[in-house]
Structure 1
Amino acid sequence: MDVNDLRSGVTVLSMLVFLGIAAWAWSRRNQSRFDEAARLPFGDENARGEGDAR
């Protein structure tokens, strides 16, 4: 086993990890949680009186 075999193994492992993360991110099971998180920056804190009073 030389360094090129190790490089190939790390490349394959990295690709599998990437595909796993992509599958997790695109799964329907997580869609509602991600949609809620995507709306967080647009929440209106001042309407509830929680913003800073300047």
Structure 2
Amino acid sequence: MDTGTLNGIVTILLIVAFVGLTLWAYSKGRREDFDAAAHLPFADDPAPEVERATEKRHDKGGRKP
């Protein structure tokens, strides 16, 4: 197998991966997740799991920043 054949195979694999990821990202089932993620910067309160992680971090160190 020469370098040209290997480059062709890699190119085809990358095109297939790109098309697959594009179809996955634009599928109707993902719309709700992406819409929710798009509104996260505008949320007033942090997500509950972020609050819990912050509390655990403060409990371990004993000091709050």
Q: TM-score band (shorter)?
A: 0.7 to 0.9
Number of equivalences: 46
**Structure 2: 5+ residue stretches without partners:** 46-50, 52-65
Identity of aligned residues (%): 43
String of CA shifts for 1:1-54, please: whole Å, max 9, x gaps. 201000000000000000000000000011001100110011113xxxx8xxxx
Higher RCO (C-alpha under 8 Å, 6+ residues apart): 1
Q: 1:5 & 1:42 partners in 2: Cα distance? A: 49
Give RMSD over aligned pairs: 1.2
**Structure 1: 5+ residue stretches without partners:** none
Structure 1 runs of 4+ with >4 Å offset: none
TM-score by length of 2: 0.66
TM-score by length of 1: 0.79
